[in-house]
Amino acid sequence: MAKDKKVAIVTGSATGLGAAAAKMLAEQGWAVVINYTKSKAEAEATEAECRKLGGDTLLVQADVADDADCRRLVQATIDKWGRVDGLINNAGISKFNGHANLDGVNKDDFVRIYTVNVIGAYQMTRAVTPHMKKQGKGSVVNISSVAGVMGIGSSIPYAASKGALNTMTLSLARALGPEIRVNAVCPGFIQSRWLREGLGETTYENVKKQQEETTPLKHAGTPEDMAEVAVWFITGASNVTGEILISDAGMHLGGSPLKAR
């Protein structure tokens, strides 16, 4: 494989947003690293789809919470292609718990969620930095959440972790320029198995209906909607860094504006 082929690592790319982003990159001719922690069969299916779309692929099991795994994942990429041009830090976890139920989460929940959602993204970014710096160019995209902007979402630890990820995005954008751009995408509601299982069927359908009826765009987001933004940050957006972009069909705007009489 030619060493000048552009290469992206997408963490947590067996399913959902990560898988959608990997397939979009493959369709654009990028080589893609598919990463998973436990979902091997689904990761293999995503890899097969990427290959059908014309992308060269590498499948690597690694837990981003483990720094050694992060370094191994990046080194496997370098060993195969000699470069890494893009990183999408998509791997993330949560615990579904109502925000008013303060006893429903504890220190261990905060540490576990923070370790994956924030430290994992930091470790992956640190691992790719010397290679991107050497190339003179690279792009990192952190998949955050509107929860980190609005203090909503599946649980307080999750929202807090995404708020920290947003702040870290700003810090890294300053620290890693001019060679490396660092941006974040903040999805709102995403039609996904993960959210359906976490919320339960009835709540999930109610929230989806609310999105379709009350947001300015009257739309319940899909993994492809969110992946489109992440891929744009990787493949385009050459003059953009330190941006935290919300993709939620306008849900964060709140109620409908007053209509002219």
Q: CB neighbours of 215 closer than 8 A, spacing ≥ 6? A: 248, 249, 250, 251
Active site residue 204: no
Active-site entry in 36, 114, 122, 158 = 158
Handedness of CA 90, 95, 98, 100 (dihedral sign): negative
Q: What whole-number distance in Å separates Cα of residue 240 and Cα of residue 234?
A: 10
CB atoms within 10 A of CB 224: 16
Q: Say if residues 55 and 29 touch (Cβ distance below 8 Å).
A: yes
Q: Which two tokens stand for residue 6?
A: 């552009």
The residues with which 186 forms a beta bridge, in sequence order, are 246
Instruction: List active site positions.
Output: 158
